[in-house]
Amino acid sequence: MEHAEQIYQRLVEICGERNVLRDEPMKNHTLVRIGGKADFLVWPETYEQVIEVLRLKEEYGLPFTLLGNGSNVIIRDGGLRGIVMQLKHLNRIWREGNNVIAQSGADIKAVSRFALEQHLTGLEFACGIPGSVGGAIMMNAGAYGGEVKDVLDHVKVATLSGELKTLKNEELELGYRTSIISRTHDIVLEVVFALRPGDYAQIKAKMDDLTFQRESKQPLEYPSVGSVFKRPPGYFAGKLIQDSGLQGKGFGGAEVSTKHAGFIINKNNATAADYIATIEMVRKTVKEKFGVDLELEVKIIGEE
């Protein structure tokens, strides 16, 4: 890569040496434990550093990828060129009135727990979602009848060119596992959730119940991306895959879970190629057997 050393030095000046990794295997940073190397992986500690990194990528015309907890991405084996940014150090959570405010690198699970401790209701649905707050906004994450859209007031974002903006719930076009961010690629920095006072014991009971349901149905003992496919209108992806007889099948180290057919697990050091081949096999079989097109919920990024 042209100017690689110069770019590295500039990133170190902005974020500090401990927060800049070179040629970093991204399988260390995705929950499914898959992903080739990133040229540069950076972890800014302040919003100013985020903006400065964005300016640097503009200056050098570098490709740029933003990741949260890496719980909903498959990074191909060739990895990611240019700069990959994660906001894991921007993880503060606090309360103002009945609002809970979180920086986008916080775990959405931690925000859900914080709301419980504050006796605030509305975020119980998020107690088992393993993403960051930013990823949860981008995906309009949801579970068991609740979704981000129900409790979001507004977000602060940086545009890709480094401009700061506030976007209200209605401006975010939050839909089923999607938002306007998938088109604008804005970077969510801070999120305000509007919650209501609630009863601690009731909130906790609901969270315990959802955790029990999740643990009994999902193969959480293996790395995965959660549900690989969106729910097709009128069907359940998992049921279609189960009825196609695909559980336990796959390529290389990737396998359709025998516990929940909507999950493809990384059973044994799967590569992205194994995982993607398994996805394609599932889509083809379900299309042939039931005529249903399965749309991906997971994002597949990076080079072959």
Please enumerate in sequence order all residues whose Cβ is within 8 A of that of 140, keeping only pairs 6 or more positions apart, or say none. 147, 148, 149, 174, 175, 176, 177, 178, 179
Q: Does 130 bind ligand FAD (CB under 6 A)?
A: yes
Catalytic residue among 227, 244, 257, 283: 227
**Cβ–Cβ under 8 Å, residues 32 and 3:** no
Region of 126-134, 167-175, 241-249, 288-296 interacting with ligand FAD (CB under 6 A): 126-134
Instruction: State the Cα–Cα distance between residues 136 and 68, nearest whole angstrom.
Output: 9
Instruction: State the Cα–Cα distance between residues 265 and 248, nearest whole angstrom.
Output: 10
Residue tagged 């196609």 (tokens): 244
Distance between alpha carbon 25 and the CA centroid of its chain, in Å?
18
Q: Which of 11, 54, 57, 69: binder of ligand FAD (CB under 6 A)?
A: 69
Q: Does 138 bind ligand FAD (CB under 6 A)?
A: yes
227 is catalytic: yes
Q: Does 89 bind ligand FAD (CB under 6 A)?
A: no
In whole angstroms, how close is the CB of 143 to ligand FAD at the nearest point?
3
Q: Does 198 bind ligand FAD (CB under 6 A)?
A: no
In whole angstroms, how close is the CB of 6 to ligand FAD at the nearest point?
26
Q: Which of 7, 41, 74, 139: binder of ligand FAD (CB under 6 A)?
A: 139
CB count within 10 Å of CB 21 equals: 20
**196-197 and 93-96 strand pairing:** unpaired
113 is catalytic: no
In whole angstroms, how close is the CB of 106 to ligand FAD at the nearest point?
10
Residue tagged 């042939």 (tokens): 288
**Cβ–Cβ under 8 Å, residues 26 and 72:** no
177 is catalytic: yes
Size of the site for ligand FAD (CB under 6 A): 32
Residues labelled as active-site residues: 177, 227, 297
Task: Name the residues that contact ligand FAD, by CB under 6 A.
Answer: 31, 66-73, 87, 104, 129-132, 134-136, 138-139, 141-143, 181, 187-188, 218, 220, 224-226, 299
